[in-house]
Amino acid sequence: MERLGSLLVRCVVWFGLASALDFQHHGYEDMVRAMLNVQNECPFITRVYSIGRSVEGRHLYVLEFSDNPGIHELLEPEFKYVGNMHGNEVLGRELLILFSQFLCEEYRAGNPRITRLIHDTRIHILPSMNPDGYEVAGSKGPDTNGYLTGRANSRDVDLNRNFPDLNAMMYYFEKNDGPNHHLPLPDNWEQQVESETLAVIRWMRNYNFVLSANLHGGAVVANYPFDKSREARVRGYRKTSYSATADDKIFKKLARTYSYAHGWMHQGWNCGDYFDEGITNGASWYSLSKGMQDFNYLHTNCFEITLELSCNKFPAAQELQREWLGNREALVSYLEQVHLGIKGMVYDENNNGIKNAVISIYGINHDITTGVDGDYFRLLLPGTYTVTASAEGYQPSSSTVTVGPAEAIQLHFYLKAASQETTSETQSAGSNKKVHPHKMAPR
C-alpha cells in the first residue's frame, strides 16, 4: 500500500490527474473508436494502420506514435507493444489503450520525457492480437468468465503456440556451429499458421523492430527467453530447466526494468507464486514451444519479453485504474530501453547504406542485421565490446566501442568491396559456413 500511495502522489505531482483516461472495458468497436480518437486528438504524431485480419475478419489495428508517422527515420529505433494475444487476458489490451491516450495527452501537455520519447522512437501499439477471442470472453464479462473462455482464436488455436518452432533448429545449430540469427522458416509456413499469426509475422518482417513486449495475464512476472527448454520433454512430465539465450544478461536487465518500475511485480510474491525480483526465464517456469517471444529473437532483430500483469485474467472495470497506476511507469521505462547499446550505419565506399549487413559482437553468439537503409541497432549492457560489420561482397570491418548506461553510442562502418582475389579464395574454400568473430571467444 505504501508503494501504491507513492504512485498516487507521483500521478498528481508529475503527470497530473488521469481525468482524460478511459477506465472501462472496450469491445472491438469501442477499441477501434478509442484508437481513432487518439489519432484525432494527436493527428501529427499518430497513425492507425491494419496489419491484417483475424479469422472472423476483424482488422488487427496498430496505433503508431512518431514525429513522422508512417516513415522510418534513419537511426530511430522501432518498438512495439502487443496485447490480448489470449483473448481472455484483457488487462494488456486495456493498458495499451490507456497508454496510447496517455502518450497523446502528455505530448500535448508538453511533458519533456514523453516528447523526447516520441521524437526519438517509432512506437507501434497493437492492443489486440486476438479480437475474435476477446469477443467470446467479453460476452461473458469479468464475473462469469471461465479460465480458458476466449483464450484461443475462433478456430480454437492458441496463438502463443502457433509460431514456427525455430528453437529446435537453434539448439541443433549451437552444437554444430550453424547460424545464430534470422533462422529460416519452414516450407509452406504461411499455410501452417493462423490468420492472426500470419499477420504478425509479416508485420515483424516489414518493420525492423528492436525491442518489444507481449502483454498477458494470469500471473504477475516479467518472463524472458528462451521459453522452450533445451532438454527433451519426458512423457507425462512438464520439463523445467533454465534455457538462456546468448543475450541472457540484457534480457534479465530488460525484465528487471519492467518489474522494478511496476507497482508490486518486483516484490516476488504474487498470485500464490514467488518469482525472485519478479522475473523468470520462460523455460525455467515451464517449457513452451512455438511461442512468439522466442520467434522474435530467432527470426528477426527484435528482443521481446512476455509480461504477465494480473492474477485475474479479466479484472473488473473498477480495478483498471489501480492496474494502470501500477503499470504506467513500467510501460514508459521499458520503452526507453530501446535506446540502450549501440546503433549506426553500415556504408559502402560510395556512402550508400548496405542492407542485411551482419553486426557481430565478440563473445555474444547472436548477430543482428542492418535494415533496408543500412542502419542497425544492437541492445547491449554497459561495457567495452569488439564489433564487426560484414556483408557479402565486402571486406569485414571491426571496431572497439565502450557502451555507457544512457543513450546508444553511434558506431558507423565503411566497408570496402572485396577484391576479386579475396572473393575467389572464399569461393574455392567450398564452405558456406559463416565465420563469427565471437566463435574465437573463450567459453
- As a whole number of angstroms, the distance between CA 114 and CA 442 comes to 42
| pLDDT surpasses 50 at 279 | yes
Catalytic residue among 89, 308, 323, 329: 308
Q: Considering just the CA atoms, what is the radius of gyration of the chain in Å? A: 22
Q: Which of 250, 311, 242 is nearest to 280 (CA)?
A: 242
Q: Count Cα atoms within 13 angstroms, Cβ side, for 163.
A: 26
Task: Work out the burial of residue 176: count CB atoms within 10 Å of its CB; fewer than 13 is exposed, 13-18 middle, 19 or more buried.
Answer: exposed
Taking 50 as the threshold, does the pLDDT of residue 123 lie above it? yes
Q: State the chain's mean pLDDT as an integer.
A: 90
Neighbours of 102 (CB within 10 A): 22
Question: Using CB atoms within 10 A of its CB, is residue 37 exposed (0-12), middle (13-18) or buried (19+)?
Answer: middle
Q: What is the pLDDT of residue 402?
A: 98
Residue 22: per-residue pLDDT = 84
Q: Please give the biggest Cα pair distance in the chain.
A: 72
Helix axes 320-336, 112-120, angle to 10 degrees: 50
β 209-216/78-83 pair status? parallel
Number of C-beta neighbours around residue 312 at 10 A: 16
User: What pairs with residue 353 in β-bridges?
Assistant: 347
Grade residue 244 by pLDDT with cuts at 50, 70 and 90. very high
Q: What is the pLDDT of residue 102?
A: 98
Q: Is 231 a catalytic residue?
A: no
* 292-319 per-position pLDDT tens digit: 999 999 999 999 999 999 999 999 999 9
Task: Give the Cα separation of 64 and 317 in Å (integer).
Answer: 26
Ordered DSSP codes for 254-297: HHHHHHHHSSSGGG-EETTEE-GGGEEEHHHH---SS-HHHHHH
pLDDT in tens, 181-238: 999 999 999 999 999 999 999 999 999 999 999 999 999 999 999 999 998 765 555 5
- Lowest mean pLDDT across 22-26, 27-31, 175-179, 426-430: 426-430
Is 425 a residue whose pLDDT tops 60? no
Please tell me the predicted confidence (pLDDT) of residue 20. Answer: 72
* CB neighbours of residue 339 within 10 Å: 21
- DSSP conformation letters of 125-163: EES-S-HHHHHHHHHHHHHH--SSTT-S-TTS--GGG-S
pLDDT of amino acid 143? 65
Q: Enumerate residues 6+ apart whose C-beta is below 8 A from 200.
A: 51, 52, 60, 82, 126, 129, 292
How would residue 15 be classed by pLDDT, with cut points 50, 70 and 90?
A: very low
Q: Kindly report the backbone phi and psi dihedral angles of residue 366, in degrees, each rounded to the nearest multiple of 5, phi listed first.
A: -155, 115
Quick one: cell of 425? Answer: 579464395
Element (H, E) at 200: helix 195-206
Q: Strand 364-369: give its sheet, edge to edge.
A: 364-369, 358-361, 383-390, 397-403
Per-residue pLDDT band for 432 (boundaries 50, 70, 90) equals: very low
321-377 per-position pLDDT tens digit: 999 999 999 999 999 999 999 999 999 999 999 999 999 999 999 999 999 999 999
Please answer whether residues 376 and 357 qualify as being in contact, where contact means their C-beta atoms are separated by less than 8 angstroms.
yes
pTM comes to 0.91
Please report the pLDDT score of residue 145 as a whole number. Answer: 61
In Å, what is the CA distance from 199 to each residue of 51, 213, 439?
Answer: 6, 17, 35
Q: Which residues pair with 221 in a beta bridge?
A: 308
Residue located via cell numbers 518452432: 165
First CA to last CA distance, the chain:
46
> CA-to-CA distance for 13 and 7, rounded, in angstroms?
10
Find the mean pLDDT for residues 396-404: 98
Buried b (16+ CB within 10 A) or exposed e, 142-163: beebeeebbbbbbeebbbbebb
**Taking the CB of residue 443, how many other CB atoms lie within 10 A of it?**
5
Cβ(389)–Cβ(436) below 8 Å: no
CA atoms in the 13 A half-sphere facing the CB of 93 = 31
